[in-house]
Amino acid sequence: MSENKPKLLYVYEERIPESLRKLILDYFLEEFEIETMTYKLPDSDKCAKMNWAELVLFAPGRHLSEKVFESASHIKLMQLWSSGYDKFNTSAAEKYNIPVANNGGANAISVAEHTLLLMLAVNKWLPDSHRRVVEGQWTGNSHGMDMFLLHGKVLGVVGFGNIGRAVAQRAAGFGMRVVYYDPVRASSQIENQLGVEYCDFPDLLSTSDVITLHLHLDESTRGIISKPEFILMKNSAILINVSRAQLVDNEQLYIALQTKRLRGVGLDVYYQEPTSPDDPLLNHPNVVGTPHMAGSTNDAYITAMQNCLDNLRRAYKDKKPRWVVNNVV
Catalytic residues: 244, 273, 292
DSSP secondary structure, 106-121, as one string: TTHHHHHHHHHHHHHH
3-state SS class at 205: helix
**Alpha helix positions (H), 98-200:** 108-123, 126-135, 162-172, 188-194
Q: How far is CA 46 from CA 12, 16, 42, 65, 145, in A?
A: 12, 19, 6, 10, 57
Distance CA 206, CA 209 (A): 9
Note the Cα 160 to chain centre separation in Å: 13
DSSP secondary structure, 13-75, as one string: -TTS-HHHHHHHHHHHHTTSEEEEEETTS-HHHHHHHHHH-SEEEEES-----HHHHHTTTT-
